[in-house]
Structure 1
Amino acid sequence: MEAVTPIRRIKVGGVNVYYEHYQNPGKQTIVCVHGFLSSAFSFRKLIPLLRDRYDIIALDLPPFGQSEKSRTFRYTYQNLAMLIIGLLEHLQVKQAALVGHSMGGQISLSAALLKPELFSKIVLLCSSGYLKRSHPTIIFGTHLPYFHLYIKRWLSKEGVMKNLLNVVHNKSLIDEEMIDGYGKPFQDEQIFKAMTKFIRHREGDLQSEELKKMNKPALLIWGEEDKVVPVKIGERLHHDLPDSKLYSLRETGHLVPEERPEFVSERIAEFITE
């Protein structure tokens, strides 16, 4: 274990971003990008299996995790992708591989399209795909003064435990550490107002015509029991991405970095070495 804490903070794109940097000079850099309602915490089991072989950066995308819950930042996928690019440029990273889970997969793809020379390969773990922008009625609702209270009520009603039960297949994996790790960021009241803007600004996912332009090798890993992003989305992405391979895992849900960290780490290592 390194003596220096991996925890860092930086202001990029006008917003304060929390990230963890597991430094390994001279090694290939991997950037871990989490999904909706999540944070770098979701890679907690994957990082220890890869940190001896790679230089690893895991960030909290605003407004999630420990990053700023800004009410002025425009939460588009493109702007979030630009934050990743800005962070890597600040750290003077010349080239990196992207590992995106769920929504983080779409943001990773956007980053690779925006600055292709910065990224070598892309790993998509149960990546979101082909989602359209929020319905106009919902976007209109985000302009109402108390919409953030609706979001808070919805999340409170669902609860961390219910959400976790929806994203993992093996329910025995859920423990107090997991519940606390995924629930703690939502104790900050500011996140609900920031999420209002996130829902308002978010574009739809990249569509087929954009994905077919992707010239980066892509590794896709899916849980066959994924209730959030069904494996058929992975199959469709595999079809549209010109240079891709797909693994589907039995008895595995949406949270593959938590459920199958050994398998995922092995496939990532093979993929990056190729």
Structure 2
Amino acid sequence: MAKKEILFQNSTYALSYELLNQNQPQTILFLHGWGSNKEIMKQAFGKIFPSYQHLYLDLPGFGHSSINGVIDTATYVQIVQAFLDALHVKPAMIFGHSYGGKVATLLKPEMLVLLSSAGIVAPKSLKVRTKIALFKMLKPFFPKSFYRFFATKDVDGMSQTMYEVLKCVVNEDLSEAFLTCKAKTFIFWGKEDRATPLKSGEKIHALIQGSHFYPQEGDHFFFLKQAKIVEKTLLESGF
């Protein structure tokens, strides 16, 4: 594991990363999802794609990477791009799981692999809408820590700053970004995914012209068991 300090908009971000297969000429960048870190991506893909250098990154505020305040996805993208520039790396391919899929898409790579990506805002259930309304009604009467009672499980154990980041990014709709995406795109999705439902994957597939869509057995973290299928599919595609 290594760290790289990135100065961006008068703030310094200490970004934790790891490189595997460093003798290989082309690089795959792996971006994790919300509430996760680079280790889960390494666990899934660290032993495959041997002919590529692997770059695993903790996004700001996750794993061992620092964050200095509330930022949106566009800022995440700019920080990651500054990090890549500092390492003099231009990935041949970017993998993005869940929230990492939003960042990966906006980085505009030549080849994009989305794993149950975020970016499509699904309609909220009546239960969720009721919970939000109740929170807004009671919020003035309780301390700031009260938010944890209502917060999504995605913020368990996270700071107030990261919760504010989540509120900032959770309802971002990337439909236009998917529609204008020029990358050669492969979309893999867990059929039993409840965090980002299969219908979201189908919509992203419809929006990204020429994309390929592969539903897989499993949930939001299907790739932990299906990584070799992902590898086989991409290799057979001739990438």
Structure 2 residue corresponding to 1:230, chosen from 185, 197, 205: 197
SS of 1:131's partner is coil
Query: Which residues in structure 2 correspond to 1:93-112 (within 5 Å)?
Result: 93-112=89-108
Structure 1 Cα separation of the partners of residues 227 and 150 of structure 2:
30
Match of 2:183 in 1: 216
Counterpart-to-counterpart distance in 1, 2:167 and 2:98:
19
More helix by percentage: 1
Pairing partner for 1:11 from 5, 13, 37: 5
Alpha-carbon distance in 1 for matches of 2:139, 2:208: 34
1:147 equivalent in structure 2: 144
Higher RCO (CA < 8 A, seq sep 6+): 1
TM-score, normalised relative to structure 1: 0.71
Matching residue within 227, 240, 243 for 2:207: 240
Structure 2: runs of 5 or more not aligned: none
Any runs of at least 4 consecutive aligned residues in structure 1 with deviations exceeding 6 A, and if so which? Answer: 134-139, 141-145
Q: CA deviation at 1:130?
A: 1.6
In structure 1, list runs of 5 or more residues that go unmatched.
1-6, 113-118, 164-182
Classify the secondary structure of the residue corresponding to 1:123.
strand
What corresponds to 1:47 in structure 2?
45
Equivalent runs, 1:1-274 vs 2, <5 Å: 7-12=1-6, 13=8, 14-50=12-48, 52-70=50-68, 72=69, 74-112=70-108, 119-131=109-121, 146-148=143-145, 150-151=147-148, 186=157, 191-202=158-169, 204-250=171-217, 252-271=218-237, 273-274=238-239
| Residue 149 of structure 1, CA deviation | 5.7
Q: Distance in 2 between matches of 1:203 and 1:90?
A: 29
Contact 1:212 / 1:242 at 8 angstroms: preserved in 2?
A: yes
- Per-residue Cα deviation, 1:177-205 (whole angstroms, up to 9, x for no partner): xxxxxx9xx4xxxx412213313432643
Distance in 1 separating the partners of 2:139 and 2:18: 32
User: 1:105 deviation in Å?
Assistant: 0.5
Q: Structure 1 212/41 Cα, relative in aligned 2: closer, same or farther at 3 Å?
A: same
How far apart in 1 are the matches of 2:18 and 2:139?
32
State the Cα RMSD in Å: 3.2
Query: Aligned pair in 2 of structure 1 residues 94, 213: CA closer, same or farther (>3 Å)?
Result: same
When normalised by structure 2's length, the TM-score is 0.81
For the residue of structure 1 that corresponds to 2:212, the secondary structure is strand
SS at match of 2:79: helix
Aligned length: 226
Give SS of 2:33's match.
Answer: coil
**1:255 partner amino acid:** F
